[in-house]
Amino acid sequence: MALGVPTDTVLTGASPTLPIAVYPSTLHRVVLTVTDAAGAHPVVLLSGLVADSAVERWTVPPPARGGGRYRIIAQSMDLNGDVLRSVTVPIRVAPNVPDTLALPAPPADSLFLPEHAHDHLGVTSLAAGIGVGAALAALAPAIAPGGHLTPARFAVAGSVGLAGIIGFFTHQPGRTIPANVAANRAIRQAWMAHRDSVAALNASRRRGAGVVVRAGAAERHEGVAQ
Amino acid sequence: MRRLPVALALALLLTVPLEAQTLRAGAVAAAARVTTPFSSGEPTLTGALAGGVGEVDLGVLALAGTYLQGRVTGTNNIAWDVVEGDAVLAVRPAPWVSIGFGPHARSYLTGAGTVRWVLWSARAGVALPLATDAMRATFDLWAALAGSVDGTTPYGSARGLTGGLSVRIPRTRLWALGTYRAEHLALSGGAGVETYEEIGVGVGLAF
């Protein structure tokens, strides 16, 4: 009698099953059992007459972190139920470790734009507006002394000064820069989307990874297996 | 002497890549007020002028020009046609500073003939951003290094200033400006002083 067990195979799926074939040399009553390494918790896969071969499937239990060891035992019996021969194949079941991708690192700080102004645009704007406006108003009479200039220059000078004042109040240090905030948000969202997709792919690979089953050498005994 | 700025400008246009060049062109309208010794007793003439401005900006160098014409009138039925223009070749040691040189001419077509100022002036100016580069406060001072009046009247000196606001409309090619100009032109030997004052607005396109 012989046992046909894949020597090294990966089984996938939610409830992976291992095919086990029994080949008696002649018509026998065969009991096919899987136990743990200590011989306890037997699961009987087959108990009956087998003429030439039979294939049964053992539902592999989810392996613990370190894997599990089992024994496949096939016993041939005579018509009285006495064990004539036994074949034992030790197997080891381990989790299959799939290839997973490393999660992308967070974006480097250097990629982010400043979200708050720390420049002095407002001050320089005020200085430029007031300075040019004052120069325009004050220097015109110096350029053209005795020219009896009109007040028209004050209108232009005032406009320049007002523009500088508006620039001062609209560009205070510490103000939020919406364009930079949006750009940074886009960088973060792109990174999170990439990270989530990698994590989902890894989880999918782990779910479908299944188990690795490795069979040892068969041991044959006359009578009951030791 | 007069061909040098033009030759330099043409050479620069050929050597600076096209994408680094900016062309600005626009229309200007101005109100002018002139007090001149040539108006024979009429103290002040006022009127309106219209014309165009243009500039080729090459970054470090820029070539700009202005042309205006119109009419100024006085209370004694004096009405003079005015034509004026200038051209400046400027160097920009910094984006907000310019130093330039160029001709500046103004003609009055009076009933008795033509009075023409021709000046060669040196200029220094700033264009300071007001919070953004789209809006700038501009201020220029100039002084004539040489000049003539009619070719016969003895020229004395000339100087002036221009200042205002220049705005580039965001996300468009449009720009606008508002300027004030004051000029002091003196004849030699205290023979007379002309004061020219102008306030103008303009709009245009930048390419």
Q: What is the pLDDT of residues A117-141, one digit of tens each?
A: 766 778 888 999 999 999 999 999 9
Nearest CA-CA distance, residue B12 and chain A, Å: 31
Measured over the CA atoms of residue A134, residue A139, residue A140 and residue A146, the dihedral's sign is: positive
What average pLDDT does the structure give for chain A?
88
- Region of B180 please: left (phi>0), alpha (psi -120 to 50) or beta: beta
| Interval A4-57: pLDDT, tens | 999 999 888 778 899 999 998 888 899 999 999 888 889 999 998 888 889 999
Listed residue (B136, B46, B159) closest to A141, CA to CA = B159
Strand ranges across the sheet with A17-23: A2-4, A17-23, A54-59
When CB atoms are compared, the residue of A143, A159, A163 closest to B182 is A143
Cα–Cα dist B46/B198, whole Å: 10
Q: Does residue A191 surpass a pLDDT of 80?
A: yes
Distance (Å, rounded) from C-alpha A54 to C-alpha A52?
7
Is the pLDDT at A88 greater than 90? The verdict is: yes
Reported ipTM: the value is 0.84
Predicted pLDDT of residue B108: 92
What would the mean pLDDT of A106-124 be, rounded to a whole number? 83
A131 contact B CB<8A: yes
Measure A190 CA to nearest chain B CA, in Å. 27
Task: Compute the distance between CA of residue A124 and CA of residue B181 in angstroms, rounded to an integer.
Answer: 24
Comparing A116 with A64, which gets the higher pLDDT? A116
Q: Are A163 and B165 in contact (CB under 8 A)?
A: yes
DSSP of chain B: --HHHHHHHHHHHHHS-GGG-EEEEEEEEEEEEEE-GGGTT---EEEEEEEEEEEEE-SSEEEEEEEEEEEEE-TTS-EEEEEEEEEEEEEEEETTEEEEEEEEEEEEEETTEEEEEEEEEEEEEEEEEESEEEEEEEEEEEEEEEEEETTTBPEEEEEEEEEEEEEEPTTSSEEEEEEEEEEEEEEGGGS-EEEEEEEEEEEEEE-
A114 to chain B, closest Cα gap in Å: 17
Alpha helices in chain A (DSSP H): 121-143, 152-170, 178-207
Residues 142-181 of A with CB under 8 A from B: 143-150, 152-153, 155-157, 159-160, 163-164, 166-168, 170-171
Residue B180 has pLDDT above 90, yes or no: yes
Give me the percent of chain A exceeding a pLDDT of 90. 46
Q: Are strands A211-215 and A219-222 parallel, antiparallel or unpaired?
A: unpaired
Measured between alpha carbons, how far is B62 from B162 in angstroms, rounded to an integer?
Answer: 17
Q: Compute the average pLDDT of residues B174-200.
A: 91
Residue of A124, A126, A149, A156 to mutate for B, most B C-beta atoms under 10 A: A156
> Is A163 in Cβ contact with B165 (below 8 Å)?
yes
Task: Give the Cα separation of B143 and B121 in Å (integer).
Answer: 5
Query: Quick check: B129 and A128 CB within 8 A?
Result: yes
Mean pLDDT over A195-203 rounds to 94
Is the Cβ pair A164, B137 closer than 8 Å? yes
The per-residue pLDDT for A18 is 92
The CA-CA-CA angle for residues B146, B159, A129, to 5°, reads 140
Report which of residues A44 and B111 the model is more confident about.
Answer: A44
- B52 shares contact with chain A (CB less than 8 Å): no
pLDDT band at B5, cuts 50/70/90?
Answer: low
B132 to chain A: which residues are within 8 Å by CB?
121, 167
Q: Average pLDDT in the A101-119 region?
A: 86
Q: Alpha-carbon distance A32 to A55, whole Å? A: 10
**% chain A with pLDDT above 70:** 97
pLDDT at residue B2, as a whole number: 56
What number of CA atoms fall less than 13 Å from residue A145's CA on the CB side?
1
Cα dihedral angle (A12, A16, A18, A19), rounded to 10 degrees?
A: -90
Count of C-beta atoms within a 10 Å radius of residue B26: 18
Signed CA dihedral, A201, A206, A207, A209: sign only = positive
| Cβ atoms of residues B194 and B155 within 8 Å | no
